[in-house]
């Protein structure tokens, strides 16, 4: 694997910038976010290879972010970092899906060593046909068993956000922003039309495997999980 993409979620801007620049010096692609909302908003542009998460963040915690992203992206690697370094804190981090747990403060060299350990010896796995619903960001397709549905970029963006929030619903206004509908000039029925067209397009996938449900007075949610990745099908 070359030039892995690392999402850094750290609300201390000074520390975040130090980590960002140090990892870039090592050749990693990096994106820096202050909280989960920023990271979710950016996720429609690329799929990360690793999350570097602070635990104590405004709003959603690093533990919760790890749970959500790993549900949608099972091959994702996660490293957590925190001043919380008691045994229970570390165990909670591992239970949330972290591969490694870095106690703050730490030297940049320690983080670099961790990343080399995570990426250094990874063998390229044979790509087997996934049995789950699989959303490929690169090919812009939604796949299940022998069915492959070609999607527009805005449809990929919507499904990715729904996948990241599954099993919870995503509110109407947030979905509209995420797919580029102007909140000032667009109405909810515009979003409903968009979703109706997406449902028709994905109709070849049986409804028992995929349904985009309307949660009245709130938004939309998926009936089942979708795996998100960069690979083709």
What's the CATH number where 21 sits? 3.40.50.2300
- pLDDT at residue 123 above 50? no
How many alpha carbons lie under 13 Å from residue 37 in its C-beta half-sphere?
A: 7
Residue-level pLDDT at 180:
87
pLDDT in tens, 160-177: 999 999 999 999 999 999
- Residue 33 counted as domain residue: yes
Q: pLDDT value at position 129?
A: 43
Q: Which of 63, 47, 122, 126 is nearest to 97 (CA)?
A: 63
pLDDT confidence band for 125 (50 / 70 / 90): very low
Write down the pLDDT at residue 79.
Answer: 95
Q: What pLDDT was estimated at residue 186?
A: 67
Q: Let me know whether 221 and 151 are in one domain.
A: yes
DSSP label of 104: S
Residue 58 and residue 52 in contact, taking contact as beta carbons nearer than 8 Å: no
For residue 2, what pLDDT band results from cuts at 50, 70 and 90?
Answer: low
Last residue of a domain, one of 119, 145, 172: 119
In whole angstroms, what is the distance from residue 59 CA to residue 37 CA?
A: 9
Where does a domain end: 93, 119, 145? 119
191 and 161 within one domain: yes
Q: Is position 127 within any domain?
A: no
Across 100-117, average pLDDT = 89
Residue 226, Cβ density class (10 Å: 0-12 exposed, 13-18 middle, ≥19 buried): buried
For 41-96, how does the pLDDT look when each residue is reduced to its tens digit (9 = 90+)?
A: 888 778 899 999 999 999 999 999 999 999 999 989 999 999 887 888 889 888 98
Domain for residue 73, yes or no?
yes
- pLDDT of 146 reads 87
Edge-to-edge strand ranges of the sheet holding 5-9: 29-33, 5-9, 50-54, 77-82, 100-103
Distance CA 55, CA 83 (A): 9
Shared domain for 114 and 14, answered yes or no, is: yes
From 144, 146, 167, 142, select the one nearest 156 (Cα to Cα). 142
Residue 207 belongs to some domain of the structure: yes
Q: Is residue 192 a part of any domain in this protein?
A: yes
Tell me the C-alpha distance between 160 and 45, whole Å. Answer: 10
- Same domain, yes or no: 115 and 138: no
User: The pTM is what?
Assistant: 0.75
| 124 lies in some domain | no
Q: Which two tokens stand for residue 96?
A: 């949330």
Domain identity same for 101 and 203:
no
> Is 137 in contact with 47 (CB distance < 8 Å)?
yes
128 found inside a domain: no
Count of domains for the chain:
2
CATH number at residue 162: 1.10.10.10
- Residues 22-48 have pLDDT tens digits of 999 888 999 999 999 999 988 877 889
pLDDT at 196 over 70: yes
Q: Tokens at residue 22, please?
A: 């140090």
Given this model, what pLDDT does residue 213 score? 96
Task: For residue 127, name the pLDDT band (cuts at 50, 70, 90).
Answer: very low
What range defines the domain where residue 153 resides?
134-229
């Amino acid at each position: 694997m070359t030039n892995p993409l690392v999402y850094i979620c750290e609300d201390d801007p000074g520390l975040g910038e130090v980590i960002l620049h140090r990892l870039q010096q090592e050749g990693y692609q990096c994106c820096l976010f202050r909280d989960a909302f920023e990271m979710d908003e950016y996720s429609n542009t690329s799929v990360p290879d690793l999350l570097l998460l602070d635990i104590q963040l405004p709003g959603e915690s690093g533990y919760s972010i790890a749970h959500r992203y790993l549900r949608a992206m099972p091959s994702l690697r996660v490293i957590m970092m925190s001043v919380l370094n008691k045994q229970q804190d570390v165990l909670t981090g591992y239970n949330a899906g972290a591969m490694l747990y870095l106690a703050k403060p730490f030297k940049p060299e320690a983080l670099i060593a961790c990343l080399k350990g995570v990426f250094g010896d990874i063998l390229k796995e044979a790509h087997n046909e996934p049995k789950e619903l699989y959303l490929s960001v690169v090919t812009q397709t939604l796949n299940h068993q022998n069915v492959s549905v070609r999607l527009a970029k805005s449809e990929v963006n919507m499904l990715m956000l729904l996948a990241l929030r599954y099993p919870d619903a995503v509110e109407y206004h947030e979905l509209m922003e995420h797919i580029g509908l102007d909140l000032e000039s667009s109405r909810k029925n515009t979003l409903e039309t968009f979703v109706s067209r997406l449902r028709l397009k994905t109709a070849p996938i049986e409804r028992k495997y995929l349904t985009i449900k309307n949660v009245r007075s709130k938004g939309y949610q998926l009936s089942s999980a979708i795996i998100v990745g960069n690979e083709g099908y």
